[in-house]
Amino acid sequence: MQNIDILVATTSGNTEYLADQLSNQLQEAGYSTTLHYEPDYSDLMESLTDQSVWLCCVASHGAGEYADSMIDFAEELHTHKPQLAELRFGVIAVGDSCYDTFCAAGRDCDAMLAILGAKRLITHLEIDMSQDDPDEKSSTWLQSFIQSL
Ligand SMILES: Cc1cc2nc3c(=O)[nH]c(=O)nc-3n(C[C@H](O)[C@H](O)[C@H](O)COP(=O)(O)O)c2cc1C
């Protein structure tokens, strides 16, 4: 069974909730999932195989910074710049359009993984928490993500 690693960048929990919903939907679609509420760089690197798929759910905080749970992971990724040619991925960026740095962390994650050689399965999704229905928007996107696997 194909496993999807779900990496979560959250500070106040909205994105954790969203990731849980997506995990349930993936399981209903016949996939196994591993939720990483505080992604550990070493663990994820060691477990990489040519079957690895990451679904990154990334909220922006600060001035476009990664939300707390993924700050360390993002720093390690930028520092070590691992070769990720085996990896396939998709990114959901969570933010609020009242900030100039709308969805900046999710955009960075999407760009960084591609720069490191990973295969982008689908254009990243941006969720504007001030306007969008996150469940509806992410569910629709997830169907395309699943089809791209
Ligand atoms: C202090 C603070 C800073 C924020 N900075 C940004 C930002 O730079 N860009 C953005 O798109 N959203 C920003 N947001 C909005 C959050 O991304 C949004 O509230 C999101 O739902 C938080 O997700 P979380 O509950 O998973 O942490 C910020 C929110 C707070 C409270």
Domains of the chain: 3-148 (3.40.50.360)
Report CA-CA distances (Å) from 76 to 35, 58, 79, 112, 128.
Answer: 19, 16, 5, 12, 27
Protein residues with CB under 6 Å of any ligand 1 atom? 10-15, 59-64, 67, 94-96, 99, 101-104, 129
pLDDT of 69 reads: 98
- Residues 138-149 pLDDT 10s: 999 999 999 999
Q: How confident is the model at residue 120 (pLDDT cuts 50, 70, 90)?
A: very high
CA of 30 to the centre of ligand 1 (A): 32
pLDDT of 21 reads: 98
pLDDT of 5 reads: 98
CA of 136 to the centre of ligand 1 (A): 19
Q: How confident is the model at residue 39 (pLDDT cuts 50, 70, 90)?
A: very high
Whose C-alpha lies nearest to ligand 1, atom 31?
A: 61
Q: What is the pLDDT of the chain when averaged over all its residues?
A: 98
